[in-house]
Amino acid sequence: MNDIPNSAPAELEQAAHVLEQSGDYRVLRRLVPRDDFGTRPDGPLLKAVVVDVETTGTDTEHDHIIELGMVCFEYSPDTGEVAWVSDVYDSFEDPGVPIPPESTAIHGITREMVAGHRLDDDAVAELLEDAQWVVAHNAAFDRPLLERRLPVFAGKRWLCSYAELPWAKLGFSSGKLEFLANARGFFYEGHRSEIDCRALLEVLRLPLPRSADNPWQRLLTSGALQSYRIWAIDAPFDSKEALKARGYRWDGQRRCWHRTMSHDEAAAEAPWLKERVYGGRSREVELEVHDALTRYSQRPGRKILRPL
């Protein structure tokens, strides 16, 4: 067995540079968490918080949080430039129930690791107090779980970096966080809360390859807009496949298909629904208007009935 020599960081970086310059290799560097990004934006800075949870499963109504990570950062509201990380919180919580083996296989967290631990409600509330935004890479999952365990999250404005950014149009063939990290030249050991938060912040702050701005700046613009959830009331059963292909999701409680979209998309959707789902017949659909305070939560938005 050949011994691998220990090399100094400078030598390794030089070797990586040679490989990259050849044009035949791409080198991924391990994400090294840091708090200062070396930027000093002009003007006042605001605070936002990246969050990520690990859980006992994927059911937002019945499963439990077993780890919460929060990375607070300061940014320029004018340019979206991220300055530094101002605070970090990461803690386990004993769910009081077994952690299924299939969940442990994903995040590596066992019952023994969380035994006796509990999230600090006061510390979480303090970190959120002056935060302008809470951002997650799958807010439709994280937000309901966090609001159920920590109601203070219900009063904050949320952003979803997965759902609200058009990653394909921005030059990326996938919106999954690990893929985005690799595309930006780094890798990390995922599925643990703090490092997932750190990786997302790194992706959000880096300039986009096709423009001068960054994803965080675009996400701030998206968060200021309203979104519309369209409920296809009493859609015929034989329209199921067309609705699924269009991006609609089934709500088992309401027994109704729905899809969330922008104002312009919602306006353009009416003719499609009338023709493809209701066979040209006049019907009413329900529009549920959401903003950043209710989006991704399980709380309803303002409802409007609109004729087709």
| pLDDT tens-place string over residues 265-290 | 888 898 999 999 999 998 888 999 99
Residue with the bigger pLDDT between 13 and 36: it is 36
Strand partners, 129: none
Q: What is the pLDDT of residues 153-188, one digit of tens each?
A: 999 999 999 999 999 999 999 999 999 999 999 999
Average pLDDT across the chain, whole number: 93
Q: What was the pLDDT predicted at 14?
A: 86
Comparing CA positions, the residue from 121, 119, 128 lying closest to residue 49 is: 128
**What CATH class has 227-307?**
alpha beta
The lowest-confidence range among 14-18, 115-119, 206-210 is 14-18
Strand partners, 70: 51, 89
Structure tokens at 270: 């009416």
Cβ-based neighbours of 192, under 8 Å, separated by 6 or more: 54, 67, 69, 107, 108, 109
Comparing CA positions, the residue from 198, 260, 216, 270 lying closest to residue 31 is: 198
Q: What is the pLDDT of residues 204-223, one digit of tens each?
A: 999 998 888 999 999 999 99
Q: What is the pLDDT of residues 225-272, one digit of tens each?
A: 999 999 999 999 999 999 999 999 999 889 999 999 888 888 889 899
Q: DSSP labels for 102-122?
A: HHHHHH---HHHHTT----HH
Question: What residue ranges in the chain does DSSP mark as E strands?
Answer: 29-30, 46-55, 65-75, 82-92, 133-136, 158-160, 186-187, 227-232, 249-251, 256-261, 284-290, 302-307
pLDDT at 4 exceeding the cut of 50: no
Q: Tell me the three state secondary structure of residue 285.
A: strand
Q: What was the pLDDT predicted at 226?
A: 93
pLDDT at 3 exceeding the cut of 80: no
Q: At what angle do helices 193-205 and 215-223 cross, to 10 degrees?
A: 100
Residues 116, 96: Cα–Cα separation, whole Å = 9
Look up residue 273 and give its DSSP letter.
I
pLDDT at 190 exceeding the cut of 90: no
CATH 3.30.420.10 domain position(s) in the chain:
29-223
Q: What is the dihedral of CA 230, 233, 238, 244, to 10 degrees?
A: 20
Structure tokens at 126: 């303090």
CATH 3.30.70 domain position(s) in the chain:
227-307
Fold adopted by 29-223 = Nucleotidyltransferase; domain 5 (3.30.420)
Comparing CA positions, the residue from 80, 72, 83 lying closest to residue 221 is: 80
Q: What is the dihedral of CA 103, 299, 246, 220, to 10 degrees?
A: -90
Q: What is the pLDDT of residues 49-92, one digit of tens each?
A: 999 999 999 999 999 999 999 999 999 999 999 999 999 999 99
Structure tokens at 116: 């006796």
256 exposure class (CB count in 10 Å sphere: 0-12, 13-18, 19+):
middle
